[in-house]
A = this chain, B = another copy of it.
Amino acid sequence: MIEGFQTDGRGRVDGRVVRGERTRRAILQRAAEIASMDGLEGVSLGRLASELHLSKAGVVGHYGSKEELQLATVEAATRTFADAVVTPAFETPPGLGRVWALCDCWISYARRRVFPGGCFFLSVSTEFDCRPGRVRELIADARRRWLAVYRQAIDEAQQQSEIDRTVDAVQLAYELDALAMAANLDAQLLDDIGAYDRAAHGMLARLRAVATNPSALPPIGHVTESPS
Contacts and interface: CB of A to CB of B under 8 A. Distances in A.
A60 interface: no
Contacts of A127: 39, 126-127
A204 B34 CA distance: 39
Nearest to A179: B178
The contact size tier of chain A is 35 or more
SS of A interface (majority): helix
Copies of this chain, whole number? 2
Interface string A129-170: 111000010011001100000000000000000000000001
Interface in A113-130: 116-118, 122-123, 125-130
Interface stretch (A6-14, A62-70, A98-106, A180-188): A180-188
20 contacts: A37-B130, A39-B127, A116-B130, A117-B130, A118-B129, A118-B130, A122-B126, A123-B126, A126-B126, A126-B127, A126-B185, A130-B188, A140-B189, A143-B189, A174-B182, A174-B198, A178-B178, A178-B202, A181-B181, A182-B182
